[in-house]
Each structure stands twice: as structure tokens, then as C-alpha cells.
Amino acid sequence: MAAQKITYPVTAKVEQADDYFGTKISDPYRWLENDTSKNTEAWVKEQNLITGDYLSKIPFREKLKKRLTELWNYPKYGTPQKEGEWYTFYKNDGLQNQAVLYIQKGLNGTPEVFVDPNKLSTDGTIALQATSFSKKQQYFAYAVSASGSDWQEIYVMERSTKKLLDDKLDYIKFTGISWAGEDGFYYSRYDKPKDDKTKFSAKTEFQKVFYHKIGTAQSADKLIYEDKEHPLRYVGAGLTEDERFLVLSISEGTDGSEIKVKDLTDKNSNDFLTIVKGFTTNANVIDNVGEKILLQTNSQAPNYKLILLDPKNPDESNWKTIVAEQPQPLEGAGTGGGKIFASYLKDASTQVHQYSMDGKFEHNILLPGVGTATGFGSKKEDDFFFYSFTSFTYPATIFKYNIKTGKSELFKKSDVKFDPSAYETRQIFYPGKDGTKIPMFITHKKGLKKDGNNPTLLYAYGGFNINITPAFSVANMPFLEAGGIYCVANIRGGGEYGENWHKAGMLEKKQNVFDDFIAAAEWLIKEKYTNSQKLAIRGGSNGGLLVGACMTQRPELFKVALPQVGVLDMLRYHKFTVGWGWAVEYGSSDKKEDFDYLIKYSPLHHLKKGICYPATLITTADHDDRVVPAHSFKFAATLQEMQSCDNPALIRIDTKAGHGAGKPTSKAIEETADIWGFVFYNFGMTY
């Protein structure tokens, strides 16, 4: 197909340079950081017109959208959650913008709509977030977010009548809802933003914990915890199941934690006890066993372990190991029915072990195969629960697990119109630049010919201790149906092999992440899966940074690059919203030793004139207050200025959308059709 000729708008440049320890760095598109200015709004409109015009000329774009709509249109169920004699579950009929929360009495009761977020807006851009029942299910509290923003509001309804109370809580981000009996709940919030115009970009500081009593105004909420000395900390609060301990989880960013608890049965205790000092390890409270706390920790255990501690004597020398560190990383743990369920990762695939509460191994839970299983845990009195299993060619399926017998039975199968027998997934291990063995999942149609000419998409994340495990996605089906190969590389920076794997891809070692991704691409070409003219790379958020770094370091290796909501300016990311929380992962340009390695890979600062960069479709959204759109704006303007060949350098800026959470089905289908249309078109494919 002939390349489209694109005339990019000339983006105005300003005289702006910053001095980083004697090194002058120009930032001519700094004005694009002001996302609410009229100039920026005009720029966004102009860019969207150019991108929309380009995409509209792709002859099979509507066919792709139609096929995606067909694939998406099947009932999707969430795992049922038991609350007393009630069960709740999410269901999307197929093309509803948001999944609806249903409630029913007992397993054989008639499901009723409980909360339908589709009725909260006309365009499906309001999404449910945290939800929580009071102890006896008299009340139900839920948080909602609008247009994909991290900002939320909490509402309370009466379960029996489904009527909303007058209670409404504002200025909330990153919170749970933890009820104390029927009277009220604990939650986290910020102060009211000083200026609504900068609400989605200004730095958020001083998160606090409050207790809200039902029937009272938010202004009367009781302050439970604040830290006036440290504005850049997150703090969350939650009660243990028996409501004995109030637990505070505190962090200075995305790595490292401090845990404080208060024994609410001890009338002489007025303050919180620090049971894990911050912030050199990661820990979280799993449960309590009477007066003791069951804790997951990576202290002296990079793969994590479970220990029991006495809050009054929390020194590590007094810890009792319940489940020792294993060769595989402990991804998470839950309790229920008097048992412990520990989820491990074996080469990025879930394995679940059942233990007694004193740590005696009982058995493995038999799963359908290599994939991802979630949902292990329940209340103390329960004798069963539900969990979900998925893999690349295995749509999400719900199983009922009997705690006493250790048996699973199929509860609800997916009705997606997809034949898994026509496809296969295999896991290979390829060598990184330094010889490190790295796993990669490869999915494609059976009977694939390795002739070096297959369209291939390579995806990874590589950061923040986040694991990328097998999961089914209808969004990938048009590409697989058209003979494409979908690859997921489990590169360093994630937690697939524990904390050591994470640390090998953070701070001054971040280049390992990019090297691992580039090595995956080189291996796919060497093994004759594909070639550089049929290879696309994709990643979101930290994965957007990954794509940005690799397309600037090795532009000739990829035909298409898809950086989505990416962190692309490594010198200024920490100056917006909650970007400060990532400094523990990336480092900060405010420190010379960090600046010295950040400038070596910051994607924005490595775009150079005279280089042919891959066909690039940058995606972001106007309400992204996690990774502010300024990253993508400045990167797009610079790429358009520097691009030396006919490969397009486009940006797609969604409206009334954010970082990705809560995105309506209609917007997800539109965006997916545009992305695959762009990939197919630039590969010279039809659909």
C-alpha cells in the first residue's frame, strides 16, 4: 500500500532550557504541559484532525471495527463474591459500556441489578471502582470515577431498598473502603484541589486517612492519620476481618512499604504501632490470627515468605516463619475457611498451594493449565469460594472451589465466539544481551510457517514489580485471525522471578529492560518468525516508556511503534500528579547521579534529526492524571519535527478518557480498531 503523505502542523517552539548539574537541556515544547490552555487545546484538536484523516483513509478500518464488535459481543461475568447470605457479581451483556453489578440471595437466588454505572452517564464514561458492604450488609459503599480520572467520589446506599443516602465523599484517589460494623468506614483522601484547572496535572500531596460515620457530612469525618512531615506518601487503611486491627499501609512510592497497626480491642492503646519500618522492604498484612499478624514480606526473602508476628514485639528476630521462601516468587496470599492459599509464579504462570493456618502444606490446587488464576480467599466461616482462570487462548472461566475436599468444579464458561483449537501458545526462553534467560509467550495459528515474513506484535511492560501473565483478550483476535503472531516477553523490571528480577530492571539498571526487549525482537527475526518490516512493538504506561526507549535506540529494528499513555520525559515526570511516587523505581533528575543515567535513555531527549523512526501511533487521553498527556504531546511534537522518512508520526488523543481503567466498551473498540488498522496498513496487510 502506498504511504500516505502527511503535512504535520508546525508546533510552536519556546526558548526554554534547564540546567541539570551543568548540562543544559532544551525543552522547546514546554508549553504543551499546560493541558488546559487554549493553545494546547487548539494543538490537540489539530493533531486529532490529522490522525483522524489518516485513519479514515485505511480502507478496511470499518471491517476491523465490525469484527471487533462481533467478538466483543458476548456475556462477560466476574467471579461471585459472598457477603453474608448475599452474592454479588459483575456482568456485561456484551457491548454495555460498563459492567453491571448484580446481587442475589443465595446461590440459587434470582439476580437483580444492584448498581448500574451505565445509568450514571449518557456516554458510559463513569466507572465503578472500590466497593464494600457493611458487616451485616445493611449498607453498601461504592466509589466512582469519571472520564478515566484517578479522582473518585464515594456514595452509600441501603442494600434492602437500593436507595442512596445523602452521604457523598469527595477528593478521593487510591482508596479502599473498610467498614467498621454498620456505623461507618475508613477511607483515604486528599485535600480539595486548589485549582480545578490544574486538577488533572498538579502534584497531589498529603494523603490522609479518615473515618466517615453514616448519616454525617464529610466535613465531620474524623481524621485518623496524617503525616505533616512527609507530603509525598501514600497511606491506605483497612480492618482485619474480625475488625480487631486497623492496619495502615504507607509507602513513599511504588516500591517499599511501612506497616502500622492499632489493636482496637485494647482500650489503653491510643496510637498505632509500627510493625514493619519503611521503606527498604515490601510487606502487606494478609490476616490476623488472634493477637498476631500474618504478614507477607520480602525481608531477607527476595521471593517473599509468610510470617507471624506479635505487634507488641515486632522486631524481626521475633518473627515466626509460617510459609518459607520458595524457589518461585510468592505473588500473593489469601485466607479462607481456616486455610492459607499462596499463589506462586512458575515461569510467569500461576500455581496455587493450600496450607493450614500454621503453615503445613496440604496440596496444590489443580488448574486447567499454564495461565493466570485469581480470587483465592474468602471469609473464615466459608467452605467454598470462586476463582477465575485465563490464558492466551483460554477465555476467562470461573470455577467453584471446595475448601474441604480441595476440588474445583466448572461454574461458568465463557461464550466468546472463538475456537481455541485453531491456535497454540508456547513459551520459549531467549538470551538477553548479557546472557540472562528470559521467557516469552508466542501465540499464533496452528501450522504457522517460519519463513521470516509473519506479521508480529511484541508486547512487554518491564517495571514496578508488575507481572505480565497469560490472559485472553478479544482485542487481539483480528490480528491472530489474519495470521499475526502475538508475543509477550517477561523482561526484567517485573516481578516474574521475584525482587531480584525487579531490581535488575530499575534505577541505574533500567537499560537492562530495553536490552531485554530488543533481544526479544532480534530473536524473533533470527528464528525466522518475522522480519523488521513486519514487527510492531506495543506497551502502555511504563510499557510506553519501553516502546519509546527502544524505538529511539534501535529505530531500524521495528516497522511500527505503539507507545500508549507512556512516561516519555524522564527529566520532568515527577513534577505532575503522582509522578513523584515513581522516583523509587526510576530515580529523579533532581539528583545528579540519577540524572546521569536518566538522560541516557529518556525517549523525548533521544529523538534526533535525520533518522527514520518506525511508523508511530502515540495514544493518550485528556483525563489521564496518572501519566499526564504532556509526555505524549511533547514526544509527538518532537517526533514530527525529527522524522526523516515517510513513516507516519501520529498521536491519537482520546477525550473523556484517562489512563485506561474504566474505559467504556465503545471507546475500547474504537481505539483497538484504530490501532490494528494502523498496524495492518503499515505492514502492507489487508483485512
**Catalytic residue numbers?**
541, 659
| Number of neighbouring beta carbons within 10 Å of residue 27 | 21
HSE value, Cβ hemisphere, 13 Å, CA-based, for 372: 18
Contacts of 418 (CB under 8 A, 6+ apart): 71, 395, 474, 477
* d(C-alpha 340, C-alpha 362), whole Å: 10
138 closest CA partner among 87, 196, 65, 84: 84
* d(C-alpha 601, C-alpha 649), whole Å: 20
For 272-417, where are the E strands, in sequence order? 273-276, 283-289, 292-297, 305-309, 320-323, 330-336, 339-346, 349-356, 361-365, 372-374, 384-391, 394-402, 407-412
Per the CB < 8 A criterion, the answer to whether 687 and 83 are in contact is no
Per the CB < 8 A criterion, the answer to whether 330 and 344 are in contact is yes
Contacts of 649 (CB under 8 A, 6+ apart): 6, 8, 613, 616, 636, 639, 640, 643
Task: For residue 669, give the amino acid letter.
Answer: I
> What is the β-pairing status of strands 76-77 and 81-83?
unpaired
The residues with which 562 forms a beta bridge, in sequence order, are 538
Q: What is the dihedral of CA 146, 236, 286, 461, to 10 degrees?
A: 50
The residues with which 180 forms a beta bridge, in sequence order, are 184
Backbone dihedral angles phi then psi of residue 280, each to the nearest 5 degrees: -90, -10
State the angle between helix axes of 38-56 and 630-642 in degrees (0 to 180), rounded to the nearest 10. 60
* d(C-alpha 305, C-alpha 298), whole Å: 6
3-state SS string for 107-163: CCCCCEEEECHHHHCCCCCEEEEEEEECCCCCEEEEEEEECCCCCEEEEEEECCCCC
* d(C-alpha 457, C-alpha 547), whole Å: 12
HSE value, Cβ hemisphere, 13 Å, CA-based, for 652: 23
Cα of first residue to Cα of last residue in the chain, in angstroms, is 13
State the DSSP code for 231.
S
* d(C-alpha 642, C-alpha 304), whole Å: 46
For 546-593, where are the E strands, in sequence order? 560-564
3-state SS string for 420-484: HHHEEEEEEEEECCCCCEEEEEEEEECCCCCCCCCCEEEECCCCCCCCCCCCCCHHHHHHHHCCC
Cell 469525618 sits on residue: 221
* d(C-alpha 61, C-alpha 384), whole Å: 46
Rounded to a whole number, what is the largest CA-CA distance in the chain? 78
Contacts of 402 (CB under 8 A, 6+ apart): 383, 384, 408, 409
* d(C-alpha 492, C-alpha 514), whole Å: 9
Cell 459481543 sits on residue: 73
Backbone dihedral angles phi then psi of residue 42, each to the nearest 5 degrees: -65, -40
* d(C-alpha 331, C-alpha 345), whole Å: 6
